[in-house]
Amino acid sequence: MARMHTGKHGKAKSRKPEVEIGKAPEDAKLSKAEIEKIIEDYSKQGMGPEIIGQYLKDKHGVPYIRQIMGKRLVQIMDERKLSRALPADMLNLMKKAVGMRKHLSSNKQDLHNRLRLVRTESKIWRLSKYYKREGTLPKDWKYDPEQAALIIKG
């Protein structure tokens, strides 16, 4: 998208180094089996894929899982039956909506928060349509705020 007050378009682009997918870099410290073991351990501790990826990068020095493993982190978790029932981005949006509903129950006049709740829930509905189409969620799944509060609490 163009800048507002200049005729330029910016210079946004991917900064990832171009490496063959599935071929580990020479300076990789961990093998594929060790990485899978770490992923399994972290997911059994209850961590989501975004946190596992961050831990692998920061604590274990694995820059890009897909370049080493040849698969995405979520695909590895799905193969080992370690993934959650709901996708991580959907869960995060549901947590945000539950928090907003709790806030609105005690602050009924907060119009700004009400608008943000509407926007957040519309994102949830759009994401649910996508995940139903992809087969991640069942076709009859529906977002229900009370049900979401129970899922987040449990």
Query: Measured in Å, how far apart are the chain's first and last C-alpha atoms?
Result: 42
Q: What is the pTM of this model?
A: 0.71
pLDDT value for 24 = 67
Query: Per CATH, which fold does 88-153 belong to?
Result: Helix Hairpins (1.10.287)
Copy the structure tokens of residue 98.
């539950």
Residue 110 and residue 104 in contact, taking contact as beta carbons nearer than 8 Å: yes
Whole-number average pLDDT of the chain: 87
The model's confidence at residue 132, banded by pLDDT at 50, 70 and 90, is very high
- The larger pLDDT score, comparing residue 33 to residue 19, is at 33
Copy the structure tokens of residue 106.
């005690």
Copy the structure tokens of residue 154.
């449990």
pLDDT value for 5 = 67
The model's confidence at residue 140, banded by pLDDT at 50, 70 and 90, is very high
CA distance linking residue 21 with residue 69, whole number of Å = 8
Residue matched to tokens 């709740």: 117
Q: What is the pLDDT of residues 25-83, one digit of tens each?
A: 666 788 889 999 999 999 999 888 889 999 999 998 888 888 888 888 988 998 888 87
